[in-house]
Amino acid sequence: MRDVAIIGVGMTRFGELWDKSLRTLMAEAGLAAIQDAGVERVDGLYVGSMSPGLFVHQEHIGALMADYMGQKGIPAVRVESACASGGHAVRLAVLEVASGQSEFVMAAGAEKMNDGADATDALATAADQDYEAFHGITFPGLYALMARAYMERYGLTREQLAEVPVKSHLHGAMNPNAQFRMKVSVDDVINSTMVADPLRLLDCSPVTDGAAAVVVAPLETARKMGRPLVKVRATGSATDALALHNRADLTTIPSVGLAAERVFKAAGLGPDDIQFAEVHDCFSIAELIVMEELGFFDRGKAGIEASSGVTQLGGRLPINTSGGLKAKGHPVGASGVAQVIEAVEQLRGEAGDRQVEGARLGLTQNMGGSGASCVVHILEAVS
Amino acid sequence: MRDVAIIGVGMTRFGELWDKSLRTLMAEAGLAAIQDAGVERVDGLYVGSMSPGLFVHQEHIGALMADYMGQKGIPAVRVESACASGGHAVRLAVLEVASGQSEFVMAAGAEKMNDGADATDALATAADQDYEAFHGITFPGLYALMARAYMERYGLTREQLAEVPVKSHLHGAMNPNAQFRMKVSVDDVINSTMVADPLRLLDCSPVTDGAAAVVVAPLETARKMGRPLVKVRATGSATDALALHNRADLTTIPSVGLAAERVFKAAGLGPDDIQFAEVHDCFSIAELIVMEELGFFDRGKAGIEASSGVTQLGGRLPINTSGGLKAKGHPVGASGVAQVIEAVEQLRGEAGDRQVEGARLGLTQNMGGSGASCVVHILEAVS
C-alpha cells in the first residue's frame, strides 16, 4: 500500500441554501476540489450521502455528481453509513489510491436537508427502525438519554455541558463557510428552548444544506505536482449495534473507541501525538464522550476539560476549529468530508484566524446514528 | 494487487417474503455465505441496497447487517448506485482484498420492496428527479422509449423481443430460489397486460424481496483452505448521464460498453472468451441492448440471436441461467450479488439442472437506472 495525500479540497457554504439544489451543491464542491487539486480528471468518485431519497427523492447520486461536475463515465458510487457517510467516502478513496488501482480519486459528501422533507423523520432512519424510530424516539431523545446517564454517573453539570457549543460557536464565528457565525454564551445555551431534557436547542447541531469534496492522490504524485503535502497517515473504522438499548453502558460509544484503536495502531501513534481534531459533535454530549473514547481525556473528565479551555483555539488540544457540526452546520453526508477539509486547511497553514499554530498532526472523527458506525482519519503535514 | 477468489455464497429465496424483514433477509444471506466459506469472521462488509430508506424507512444498514449476522464491530458500509448497488458492493470487496488490506470481506445486497412502500415511486429515484421522475415518467416508460427506438431502427419484432423473457422463465423454472418458477410462451408475453407500450407485464422484472452475500478472500488463502477456486479475473465500472434525454442514441447504453471495455482490458480477454453470462434484464429490451454493448452480438442483431436459441441453456452462450431479473426476481440492491452467486455456482459445477457444461469463464453485468451506472465482473474457475 503506497502513501496517499489529499491534494485538493472544495466545499460550499453550509446553511439553508434555498437557491441551490443537491446537484448544484455537489457540482460546486466537486469542481472546487478539482480546481484546487490542479487536475483535469479524476479516476473515480465516492459520494457520501445519508438519505437523498428521503430528503429530495433522488438516489443514484454517484453517477449524477460525476456527470454534473463534467466527469461523466468515471466509476462513481454513493456510500452510506448515516452521518458517517462522508468519512467512509474518504476512507474508500484513500484505499483505492493506496492500493495502486487509481491515481486521482474524489471523495465527496452532500446532503440537501431543507427542501421540504421532514428532517427529523428522515434522520430517524439512522436509528433502529423496529426498536427505536417506530416507537417515536428521535436523535435528540437518544442523545438526551446518553447525556442524562453521563450527568448522573460523573456529576457533569449543565454549565459544563454548555461549554461545548460555546466553544464551537466561538470557532464557527471565524469560519466563512459556517451556518452560524455568532458567538453564544453558557447562559444562551442553558436558557435556549428545551428539545429533549437535558438537551436544549443550542446543544443540537442544525439541519443544513451543503456539500464538500476532496481529491486523493499518491503522495509521490502530490510531491511531483508541487502540491502542499497533506498525507493520510491512517484510517480506521468500526461498527456497533444500531439500537442504543444494546449498549452495555450509555456513557460510552464503543465504535469510536474501536475505530480509534485501529487508526492509532495503523498509524503507530497515540492520542498524545494529536495536535488538533475535528470530532462529531452532533449533540454537545457526543463531543464529550467521543473525546474520552479517542483517549484524549480520562473517563468522566471531558466536562471538566471542556470548561477549562483546553479544547479552545490557543488551548492544548483545539477541537472543532471549523465550528464543528454545531456551528459550521451538519449536512449529514457532507460532514465527514468537511472535517477532513478543515484538517487539510490547518495542515497547510491556510486556516486564517482559526489557524492552530505549528499544526502537523490532526485527527477527524465522524460517526453515524447514536454511534453504530464510526470512521477516524489521521492526517499529517509532511515535507 | 493480489489475486482474489469468491470462497462463499449465500442467498435467500427471492419473492414476496411477507414473513421476513430486511434485517432477517440480510442475516440469512450473510450467515449462509459465512457458513459456505467456512470462516468464522469477516474483516469488513459492503452492503448494496438502493433505497431501504424509502422502502422500509431504515438507512444505516451496513452496521445493522454486521450486527444481525453476529459480526458487530467490523467496518461496514452500504453502497448505492441504484440497481447496480450489489455489483458495486462486490467490486469494493474485491478491491479491498486485492489491495492486501483485508483477508475476508463480505459483499452483500438486499432489498425489501414489498412492505407497503410505493415501489414504482421509490424506484423512480434512480432516474433524474428534476428532468424525468418529477414529470411522471417511470422506468417501464423509459425502457419503453428505448424499445420503441430499437424496434424502429433495427426492425425488431414484438415476437423476437418476447423471446427474452421466454428464455429467462425457462431457466428460472429450474432455480429453486427464483420468484417465478413457471415457463411462459411468446403468446403469453405478447398477450400479457400492457405496461408501457411496447412493454408488457412479462417484459418487466418484478418487485421482489431478497438478499444475497458472497465472501471474498485471497486466491492463495482459498487454495490453502481447500475451497473451490473461483477467481475474480477482473471488474470494470462506468457511469453515464442519469437522464435518458442526454443519450445521443436511445438504442445504446454507453456505460455498459465502457465498463465492458474496461473489464476486458483488465482481464486480457474479449467477448468471445466468455462462455456464459448473467446480464441485467430489468426489461426485455435491456437484455438485447446489453448483449450488444458487451460485444456478444453485433448492433441490431440481438433480437435475431435471442430468437435463435443461442442464449438458452445448451446454446452457444447461455444467458441468465438463474432466470435473470425477470424470473429469478429483482430485489434491486441484491441483484448484482445474486448474479455473482449464479456465476460461482456454474463455475463450481453446482448449478444442477441449469449447469452450463464445461463452464470456466463467466461474466456478470449489473446496471442502475436506465443505464447511468454499470458494473461488470469476469469470474474464472481455476485449478
The answer to whether the peptide bond before residue A228 is cis (omega within 30 degrees of 0) is no
Per-residue pLDDT averaged across B208-226, rounded? 98
Give the distance from residue B63's alpha carbon to the nearest chain A alpha carbon, in angstroms: 6
CA–CA separation, B40 and B43 (whole Å): 10
Which one of B60, B62, B373 has the shortest CB-CB distance to A62? B373
pLDDT tens figures, B19-43: 999 999 999 999 999 999 999 999 9
Q: Do the chains contact at B64 and A122, CB–CB below 8 Å?
A: no
Tell me the residue type at B282.
Answer: C
Active-site residue identified among B88, B171, B280, B330: B330
Q: Do the chains contact at B92 and A92, CB–CB below 8 Å?
A: yes
- The sign of the dihedral angle between the CA atoms of A192, A197, A203, A209 is negative
CA–CA separation, A63 and A75 (whole Å): 8
What is the percent of chain B with per-residue pLDDT over 70, rounded to a whole number?
Answer: 100
pLDDT tens figures, A336-380: 999 999 999 999 999 999 999 999 999 999 999 999 999 999 999
Q: Do the chains contact at A237 and B75, CB–CB below 8 Å?
A: yes
Per-residue pLDDT averaged across B108-112, rounded? 98
Per-residue pLDDT averaged across B124-148, rounded? 97
- The sign of the dihedral angle between the CA atoms of B218, B223, B227, B232 is positive
Using CA coordinates, name the residue in chain A closest to B56: A129
- The sign of the dihedral angle between the CA atoms of B270, B275, B281, B286 is positive
Give the distance from residue B53's alpha carbon to the nearest chain A alpha carbon, in angstroms: 7
3-state SS class at B293 = helix
Q: Do the chains contact at A60 and B369, CB–CB below 8 Å?
A: yes
Please give the positions of A annotated as active site. 83, 330
Q: CA-CA-CA-CA torsion for B126, B127, B130, B131, nearest 10 degrees?
A: 180
Catalytic site includes residue B330: yes
Which one of A53, A98, A133 has the shortest CB-CB distance to B54? A53
Answer left, alpha or beta for residue B91, where phi above 0 means left and psi between -120 and 50 means alpha. Answer: alpha
Which one of A53, A368, A372 has the shortest CB-CB distance to B125? A53
The residue whose grid cell reads 433480437 is: B303
Q: Which residues contact B118 (CB under 8 A, 6 or more apart)?
A: none
CA–CA separation, A219 and B47 (whole Å): 30
Q: Do the chains contact at A78 and B80, CB–CB below 8 Å?
A: yes
pLDDT tens figures, B289-330: 999 999 999 999 999 998 999 999 999 999 999 999 999 999
Using CA coordinates, name the residue in chain A closest to B123: A59
Q: Do the chains contact at A80 and B80, CB–CB below 8 Å?
A: yes
* CA A52 to each of CA A114, A325, B50, B310: distance values in angstroms, whole numbers, following the listed order: 11, 19, 11, 42
Give the distance from residue A243's alpha carbon to the nearest chain B alpha carbon, in angstroms: 9
Q: Do the chains contact at A63 and B130, CB–CB below 8 Å?
A: no
| Count of residues in chain B | 383
Contact by Cβ (8 Å): B204, B138: no
pLDDT at A117: 87
Best of B56, B59, B366 to substitute, by most chain A Cβ atoms within 10 angstroms, is: B59
Instruction: Count the neighbouring beta carbons within 10 Å of the beta carbon of residue B265.
Output: 12
Enter the C-alpha cell of residue B172.
428460472
Active-site residue identified among B83, B204, B282, B374: B83
Q: Do the chains contact at B82 and A67, CB–CB below 8 Å?
A: no
**pLDDT digits (tens), chain A, 383 positions:** 899 999 999 999 999 999 999 999 999 999 999 999 999 999 999 999 999 999 999 999 999 999 999 999 999 999 999 999 999 999 999 999 999 999 999 999 999 999 878 999 999 999 999 999 999 999 999 999 999 999 999 999 999 999 999 999 999 999 999 999 999 999 999 999 999 999 999 999 999 999 999 999 999 999 999 999 999 999 999 999 999 999 999 999 999 999 999 999 999 999 999 999 999 999 999 999 999 999 999 999 999 998 999 999 999 999 999 999 999 999 999 999 999 999 999 999 999 999 999 999 999 999 999 999 999 999 999 99
Helix ranges restricted to H, chain B: 22-37, 52-56, 61-68, 85-98, 119-123, 139-154, 158-172, 186-190, 219-225, 254-267, 284-293, 302-306, 324-328, 332-348
Write down the ipTM of this complex: 0.98
Which one of B51, B75, B81 has the shortest CB-CB distance to A238? B75
For residue B1, is pLDDT > 90? no
pLDDT at B116: 79
For residue B115, is pLDDT > 90? no
Best of A85, A129, A247, A293 to substitute, by most chain B Cβ atoms within 10 angstroms, is: A129
Using CA coordinates, name the residue in chain B closest to A2: B99
For A12, which DSSP code?
P
Contact by Cβ (8 Å): A63, B369: yes
Best of A47, A56, A67, A239 to substitute, by most chain B Cβ atoms within 10 angstroms, is: A239
The residue whose grid cell reads 467516502 is: A89
Q: Do the chains contact at B369 and A57, CB–CB below 8 Å?
A: no
Which one of B74, B95, B241 has the shortest CB-CB distance to A239? B74
Expressed in angstroms, the distance from the first to the final Cα of chain B is 20
For residue B168, is pLDDT > 90? yes
